[in-house]
Chains A and B, each alone.
Chain A
Amino acid sequence: MRENVVEVNKLTKQYGKHKALDEVSFTIRKGSIVGLIGPNGAGKTTIMKILGGLAFPTGGEMKLYGAADEKGLNHARTRMSFMIETPYEKKNMTARENLEKQRLQKGIPDKKRIDEVLDIVDLKDTGKKAVKNFSLGMKQRLGLANALLGKPELMILDEPTNGLDPEGIVEIRELFRKLNKDEDITIVISSHILSELSLLCTDYIFINNGRIKGIFTSDELKAACSEYYLIDTDNNERAGAILTNDCGIGRLEVMEDGKIRIYDGLDDIRSISKKLYENGVIPTELSLNEVNLEDYYMKLVKDSEGKDV
């Protein structure tokens, strides 16, 4: 088991009467790529701001690389990099000047590192072009270059592919994968583009209304996003009772339109339909489907309203 680089325990952040975070707890293992998933206003950025020292928690505790005191947290942050809300940019300066300012601020002695990171994010040919003339995608790349400048061990990135074209998204995804694999950099990415994260992440943290709604490994999420049979009958209420009592289906869900989803006994669908028929319920639809990540997330948020993990 690899060490935890981030440990958050009952972290709470209150702005007046509004609880932006409500007793949030999770850990992040070294070497993982974690997707922090939630809709706008869910609390993703607040978590990142507290981890980065921009905001103070009103309750709970956190550890970065095992340190919990202010001095230790700040030292741990020197091993990390962040890109929160807006990518780093002084609009009247060039990409190189922006990175030089950051190099001085971070105390990085090697000037060549600027060329290296500009090369990595494909901005080396921007010359004297001021950042104000960059596209949103180029600004995102500059933000990533800044995040890579200090050779971090942990990168915390808020919507890093925002504004990138599809080709750019693929490139950045491959870059993250490479950094994670070759340099063992732990990466935390917040996003609401779930399909994009599903191709990359090893762990997932679902958050909504300041509360954790689920924490999964990639395998667990794949299992959760499993296949199901969608059943519609001439009497769905009775069908539900038969499926539970006579067929022994444990994982069953009645949808808003009355149709039933069953997640167990998928190999034995023939006997299930027979049992329904024998009990006087006529199946009118019986189809094998798969829950995608978006569906699962929506279900998770909806099911766990008021309940926390």
Chain B
Amino acid sequence: MFNIIRSQNYTLRRDMVVWIVFITLIVTPFLIPQYMPELGAEGLTVSAYFATQAMDFYFFVIYFCALILSCKAVASDASDKTINYEFLAGHNRNRIFCGRMLTAFLWGVVIMWLFSLYPVLVYELIYGWGRETDRWGILFRITMTLFPLIRICAFNVLLASLLRSAGKGIAVSYAMLMAGSLVASVLQELYNKDIILELGLTNMLWLISPGNHRNVVIDGKSITVFDTALSTEMTVKTIIISLTLAMVYILLAYAEFKRRDRD
């Protein structure tokens, strides 16, 4: 299994798309302020980054990058059939599946999650944290995004594995995200209820968006302070639903991988 992971890592490190993804993730936090003048009004602090929802946009980028990397880790070599050489080398199907799944989690969850800390770290070092948000509340929220990332990654493992193509996996995953968001919005309108939040299905953006805020006067200056504390309900739902769905997706992917002939 570790040989499979090492081999896949070797391939991904030499993939041009992976480098484009990394460059995008490195550059994006610095591009966002160019298009959000309100971000610079009070200084580019980490708090301002969250308060103006610039972080939402960055997480949207992370979502797509996680989608690309996880699909590539699972099935980048399925269309040219070079994946077959892992079977032919005598690795059993469990090990091949686990090796590829863990590679997908390494690139799609661990590395992406580390990237989610990157703008926080950079802005903290350059501009400081700011007053609008609580540091530990925000860091806890970022930590919690690990769970939706696991679910998203597991879903992409399933799609890429079923479709046997990284490209098709990326396309279908994106299409399903759009369709899912549309359906959720319609249901939300119909029932006038926050379905996305209730189900905890697509809640990665909710986690990094501190919602409630109030104006306070500090040192004679009016400041909008955000309530960064995450409710217990949201925390529990995020963990349980993300892990349960991830487990279901992985089991479905495994069942297909274990039983189906390779082309």
Contact = CB atoms under 8 A, between A and B. Distances in A.
Given A78-B90, A80-B90, 18 more contacts: A52-B87, A54-B88, A55-B262, A74-B91, A77-B89, A78-B89, A81-B88, A84-B88, A86-B81, A90-B14, A93-B11, A97-B10, A101-B7, A102-B85, A104-B10, A105-B91, A106-B3, A106-B89
A91 B80 contact: yes
6 contacts: A55-B261, A80-B88, A86-B81, A90-B77, A102-B85, A105-B7
Nearest to A94: B14
Interface string B68-106: 000000000100111011111111100000000000000
B119 to A, nearest CB: 31
A105 B4 contact: yes
B3 A107 contact: yes
B99 to A, nearest CB: 9
A90 B11 contact: yes
Contacts of A88: 82, 85
A101 B88 CA distance: 15
A74 to B, nearest CB: 5
Given A77-B90, A104-B7, A107-B3, A54 B84 contact: yes
A54 B82 CA distance: 12
B6 interface: yes
A227 interface: no
Contact of B87 (A53, A71, A86, A102): A53
From A56, A82, A85, A106, residue with most partner B Cβ within 10 Å: A106
A254 B261 CA distance: 45
Contacts, number: 80
Given A53-B87, A105-B7, A105-B86, A85 B81 contact: yes
A76 interface: yes
The 4 closest A-B pairs by CB, nearest first: A77-B90, A105-B7, A78-B90, A55-B261
Interface in B199-220: none
Contacts of B90: 53, 74-78, 80
Interface of B: 3-4, 6-7, 10-11, 14-16, 77, 80-82, 84-92, 259, 261-262
A189 to B, nearest CB: 16
Contact of A105 (B15, B80, B89, B261): B89
Contacts of B82: 88-90
Contacts of B15: 92
Contacts of A86: 80-81
A150 B6 contact: no
A100 interface: yes
A37 to B, nearest CB: 22
Interface residues of A, number: 35
Nearest to A82: B88
From B81, B90, B259, residue with most partner A Cβ within 10 Å: B90
A70 B92 contact: yes
A145 B137 CA distance: 56
A49 interface: yes
A93 B76 CA distance: 13
A190 interface: no
A92 B85 contact: no
A146 interface: yes
Contact of B88 (A53, A56, A75, A92): A53
Interface string A144-157: 00100010000000
A229 to B, nearest CB: 49
A106 B88 CA distance: 10
A104 B80 contact: no
Interface string A104-133: 111100000000000000000000000000
B206 to A, nearest CB: 39
A217 B235 CA distance: 71
Interface in A174-196: none
Nearest to A71: B92
Contacts of B3: 104-107
Contacts of A100: 10
Nearest to A55: B261
B46 to A, nearest CB: 38
Given A86-B80, A90-B82, A104-B6, A150 B89 contact: yes
Given A104-B10, A105-B7, A54 B87 contact: yes
Contacts of A55: 261-262
Nearest to B262: A54
A84 B89 contact: no
From B77, B89, B259, residue with most partner A Cβ within 10 Å: B89
